[in-house]
Amino acid sequence: MASEDILRLVRRAVADGDPERAEELTREAMTKGQPPLGILESLVTGVRELGEKFGKGELFIPDLIMGGQAMKAGSEVLKPALKGQDKERMLGTILIGTVKGDIHSIGKDIVATMLESEGFEIHDLGEDVQDEAFVKRVKELNPDCLGLSSLMTMTMPAQRDVIEALGREGIRNNVKVLIGGAPTTRQWADEIAADGWAGDAVSATKEAKRILGN
């Protein structure tokens, strides 16, 4: 099998949302001597294709979830070989989490996958994250961007609470804040002095790049 064929199949496995196939083909590509970064790019391209189709309304959330799982399955195989190599493509570090009182994870997880596929280093705090936990981790990690997800109208104020907590600790200007979630709007982002807003996973990658100057 030609090298371009195996890489095409890796990309296809991700686009088809097939984690087992993606892992199998990634291992085969490694065995055939394909450069790890080249294989990673094929995995990323598969997710990017899904994101573009999702943005056009051709696919749905479950498709993105499965594609993300397929990309991660292949990425896990590559991790040992990628140590020290993937820094070249790293666009920045993003700390992400769903705010306090909100246990929804799907939207955040999809955004995290898309951001990672575009070259960001992601640190996921999970769901129902307290203000002080965000602040503590920002101090420890010193990320370029903090992503705050809220999937319920009643938890939106928690996004403002985190931003205000960062201000009280004197570190608000050290990190860009990107908010998102179904009930949020750009007007809300402006109101709480966030640096950016994204309405879906596709726009989140574009907005992260914009506010970080990539």
Tell me how far apart the terminal alpha carbons of the chain are, to the nearest angstrom: 37
- List the CATH number of the domain containing 205: 3.40.50.280
Domain boundary among 87, 115, 139: 87
Judgement on whether residues 184 and 202 belong to the same structural domain of the protein: yes
For residue 57, give Cα distances in angstroms to 23, 53, 126: 28, 6, 27
Residues 6 or more apart from 67 whose CB is under 8 A from it? 14, 15, 17, 46, 47, 50, 113
Q: Do residue 109 and residue 18 come from a single domain?
A: no
Whichever domain contains 46, its CATH number is 1.10.1240.10
Residue with tokens 């129902």: 128
| Domain final residue pick, 87, 121, 138 | 87
Residues forming a β-bridge with 175? none
Q: Report d(CA 127, CA 153) in Å as an integer.
A: 16
Residue pointed to by tokens 């990673």:
40
Based on the fold, state whether residues 81 and 96 are members of the same structural domain. Answer: no
Tens-binned pLDDT, residue by residue, of the chain (214 aa): 556 699 999 999 999 999 999 999 999 999 999 988 789 889 888 888 888 888 788 988 788 888 888 988 998 898 787 665 555 567 899 999 999 999 988 778 888 877 887 789 899 999 999 999 999 999 999 999 999 999 999 999 999 999 999 999 999 999 999 999 989 999 999 999 999 999 887 789 899 999 999 7
Q: In terms of domains, do 106 and 60 share one?
A: no
Q: Which domain holds residue 178?
A: 90-211
Residues 96 and 76 in one domain: no
Are 25 and 39 contacting, i.e. CB atoms less than 8 angstroms apart? no
Same domain, 99 and 75: no
Same domain, 98 and 139: yes
Q: Tell me, what's the pLDDT at 112?
A: 86
* Collapsed DSSP state (helix, strand, coil) of residue 214: coil
Q: DSSP 3-state assignment of 107?
A: helix
pLDDT at 209: 94
- Same domain for 104 and 56, yes or no, is no
Q: What is the pTM of this model?
A: 0.73
Domain boundary (48, 66, 87) is at: 87
Buried b (16+ CB within 10 A) or exposed e, 93-131: bbbbbbbbbbebbebbbbbbbbbbbbbbbbbbbebbbbb
Report the domain count for the chain: 2
